[in-house]
Each structure stands twice: as structure tokens, then as C-alpha cells.
Amino acid sequence: MSRSSYDRYLTVFSPEGRLYQVEYAFKAISGAGITAVAVRGKDTAVVISQRKVPDKLLDAQTITHLFQITPTIGCVMTGMIADARAQVQRTRSEAAQFRYKYGYEITPDALAKRMANINQVYTQRAGMRPLGISMILIGPDDERGPQIFKLDPAGYFVGFKATAAGQKQTEATNFLEKRWKTMEAEKTVLDRAGAIEAAIECLSSVCSTDFKASEIEIGISSTSGEETSVEGKGGRFRQMGEEERGEWSRSIAMYSAGAIILSLGVTYASVPLYRAFCSATGFGGIPNTDSKRFSADRLYTTPESEQRKRITVHFEATSSATLPWKFEPQQRSVKVLPGETALAFYRAKNLGDKDLIGIATYNMTPEKIAPYFAKVECFCFEEQKIRAGEEVDLPVFFFIDRDIIDEPQLEGLDDVVLSYTFFKARRNDKGHAVPDAPEDVIQKSQGFEKYQLARRDAST
């Protein structure tokens, strides 16, 4: 039997132990082009989803991915919206039957378990195909507080502190994992406002955009704020109105803008000393991030810079032989004026059969451009976890300092190259992720070996 033959049978395993129709249901979730994020705080659970209107003649108010199941439980559905509506109807029916039978509202975990069991039956019997949707349920629990549960087409469900679903699930999960790692190190817990901000910030970051109020939906269940029930306990589920969503989106956008400007002067304190040296001086082709060198006014194009010819920034990508990743830029080049910001994307795909963590280094050619090249946001020197067979988009937000206009040695410079090298990551003695490669190979990928040679020549 070929793979196509196994594709035709919902309940028949392939020789590799796979149910292809179930896997295709997962692809339908990401293929919908929507990303949803859920975040839990000490007294709040929040879900946020993109809202895309495919036709200008459509009434945007009729398009939604958020649904209320009970007065206290809500959900966000990602995937095929027709399947989502059918699943929501069944979920509401199950919740109503529970209340009729037992006299009180069903809890989020009991509802998630029931719906997961129903989804699992669809993988055993050929009478009905699996639903191409992912459901994230949020609601309060009298003993455990706010809860988040995620269900998939295979019938698996589990509780989360924070999770994501849809097109940018992997990128959003990586973002949330880093946020939670920082929170655990600082021993902090999100309050109501913090949970809302974290969810919006995550979705904005992975989608690389500041959303308008009409482009997102936010649902919240909280034991504080407007969601408190009439009895003063528990927490009802509600969807934010457009005006309220706009206020939260604007506050996040202002915070992000301030963080971007602040980050221009920050070097990575946890990286080796030579990396900090290069970032501060621009030596060896490492873009400059010295706070004394860059200020906010250099983010904007000036009349002087408009008189200069645009600089073409070319993008290159390589990966080490020990890392089975396909790594490539999504654009060959972009043209920018000095002082003008630009956004580029790289894409990495794990071709192996195991989840792997990689870490990237970068370099600039020619080296003399490095002191004037500033990367505001970048994926380098941070561990990137990619699951087997998955691919992620990695953004690079940068600009060229307008002081380059006054540099006579760079007057004829029209082309530069920004290159990245991905290495397989390993843990050092302090538990930090570092490239798993010989030191000379790592330094060569950053152009730093020339600095070592210069030091050696100076000492002889």
C-alpha cells in the first residue's frame, strides 16, 4: 500500500504508525492563517485571536473566533470556522446537560475532558472525519483559579499556563516560554493587566505588527475587574468591546516603541566578552549597539539622507553540518536610506525527526559598515527551539545610522551583506545555551578571528 492508499482510510495506521487524516486535520488548523494566544495570571485567563475580514463587503461584526460556552467559560477556535461552529454547538449542549443533571455549572477541566473524548472517537470510527480545529477553553475553577485547556483533533487535551494555536503557533510558543522562564527566575506572577498585556504583546510580536482594535478579538475570564460575578466570586467570561481593545492595543504599541528605542543601547550581558566588545565597537563585522553611538533621532530619515543613494542590504544564511535545519532568508535584499528602519525575515525548518534547539551568530560584510548598522530586534544569540518537521519565521528589525552620510570612507558604499549562521545548541557549565562547535569556528562565523590575529600581531 502506498501512502496515498493510507490517506483514504481514517482508522487504518500506516506502517510508520501514523494516521494521515488526523495529521491533515492539524494542517487545516495552521492553514486557516489565524493565530490565537492564551495566557493565565493569578486571577485572570485571557484569549486573543486575529480577526481577518477576507472581503470588504463582509460585515466584520459577524466574523468571530471567540465563543461563550457558559456564563463563566469561553473559548477561542482556530482552524476551519464551519467545524468550529459545530464543535461550539456540541460543547454548549454538553455543558447544558451537565448543569441539568447535576445542578451546577461544569468546570473547565471536566468540559475539556468530555470534548476531547468526543474528538478521540472521531479517530476510531470511519463514520465522521476529524474536525479541523483547535479549541482553547478558559474559565475559573473554585479551587485552582483561572484555567486554560487546549484540545486538538486527535482527542488530546492538557492544561497550560500559556499556549497558542494556529499559523504562528511555534513562534508564539517560543515567545511565551521565554517570558515564563524570565518570570520564574524573577518569581513574579501576572495580574489581570499583566496577563492581557502579555497576550497582546505575544501576538503582536509573532505577527510583526501593531494591531488595530478591529483586527483582534479578546476574551477574558477573571475574578477581578469587570468580570467578577454578581455574587462577588467566580469570574464570568466576556469579550472586550472595540473601544476597550483599542485602548489596550495603543498602550502596548506605546510600550513596544519605548522598548525598541531603549534596546538600541543594550548589549547582551550574558554572552561572552568578545561578543559584547564587538557589539560595542563594531569590530569584526558585528553591528554596533553602543548606547552612546545611537539615539532615537537616528531612527528617522532626514533630508540629508534622502539625498544619498539607497544602500542595498543582502541577506545570507548557513547552518552547521550537525544541525539538520533548512535555514534561508525570505528575501534576497532590501534597499534602505540611512536612518530608515527596515524589517526582514529568515525562515528555519527542522528537517530532523527530533525537536532541536539552535542558536545563531551573525556578521556584516564589509566590516567598515558594522559601526553604523544597528539591529533593533534579532533572533541571534537566543536559543530557538523548533519541533521536528516544523518551520518558523525569524524577524530582523534594523536601520543604518544616518551618521554614515558624514563618513567619507563610506561615501561609495552601495552594498552590504548581513549573514547568519545557525549552530546546534548545547548547555555550558552555567546552564546557558551556546553554539555546539569549536571556538574558532564560532569566531569565524562572526568575523572575530581577524581581531584575534590583530592582537597577536600587536604583541609580537
Q: How does pLDDT run across 340-390, given as a tens digit for each residue? A: 888 889 999 999 999 999 999 888 888 888 888 888 778 888 889 999 999
CATH code for the domain of 427? 2.60.370.10
| DSSP symbol at 192 | H
Each residue of 211-253: pLDDT tens digit? 888 889 999 998 876 666 545 455 789 999 888 888 887 766 5
Please give the grid coordinates belonging to residue 409: 570612507
Q: Do 249 and 150 fall within a single domain?
A: yes
Closest to 242 measured CA to CA, from 64, 38, 96, 390 = 64
Q: What whole-number distance in Å separates Cα of residue 397 and Cα of residue 413? A: 21
Please give the grid coordinates belonging to residue 428: 555550558
Q: Which of 207, 242, 260 is the last residue of a domain?
A: 260
Q: Do 202 and 336 fall within a single domain?
A: no
* Bridge partners (DSSP) listed for residue 44: 222
Q: Do 369 and 413 fall within a single domain?
A: yes
pLDDT at 65: 94
Query: Is 176:28 a contact under the CB 8 Å cutoff?
Result: no
CATH code for the domain of 211? 3.60.20.10
Q: Do 246 and 289 fall within a single domain?
A: no
Q: Do 239 and 386 fall within a single domain?
A: no
pLDDT at 267: 35
Q: Do 425 and 319 fall within a single domain?
A: yes
Q: Which domain range does residue 78 map to?
A: 3-260
Q: Do 237 and 216 fall within a single domain?
A: yes
Number of independent structural domains in the chain? 2
Q: Which of 201, 236, 260 is the last residue of a domain?
A: 260
Q: Reduce the DSSP state of residue 122 to 3 states and report it.
A: coil
Q: Do 218 and 299 fall within a single domain?
A: no
Q: Reduce the DSSP state of residue 345 to 3 states and report it.
A: strand
Q: Reduce the DSSP state of residue 412 to 3 states and report it.
A: coil
Alpha carbon of residue 73 to chain centroid: 26
Total number of residues shown for the chain: 460
Closest to 117 measured CA to CA, from 94, 136, 86 = 94
pLDDT at 127: 72
- Whole-prediction pTM: 0.58
Query: Is 436:380 a contact under the CB 8 Å cutoff?
Result: no
Query: Percent of the chain scored above 90 by pLDDT?
Result: 39
Q: What whole-number distance in Å separates Cα of residue 409 and Cα of residue 402? A: 14
Q: Do 211 and 65 fall within a single domain?
A: yes
| C-alpha separations of 191 from 150, 250, 345 in Å | 22, 19, 33
Each residue of 37-61: pLDDT tens digit? 999 999 899 999 999 888 888 888 8
Q: Do 273 and 253 fall within a single domain?
A: no
Residue 458 has pLDDT above 70, yes or no: no
Q: Do 350 and 394 fall within a single domain?
A: yes
Each residue of 396-433: pLDDT tens digit? 888 888 888 888 888 888 899 999 999 999 888 777 77
Q: Which of 260, 277, 312 is the last residue of a domain?
A: 260
Q: Do 315 and 209 fall within a single domain?
A: no
Question: Measured on CA atoms in the order 148, 394, 340, 281, is the torsion positive or negative?
Answer: positive
Q: What whole-number distance in Å separates Cα of residue 366 and Cα of residue 239? A: 52
Question: Measured on CA atoms in the order 280, 281, 282, 283, is the torsion positive or negative?
Answer: negative
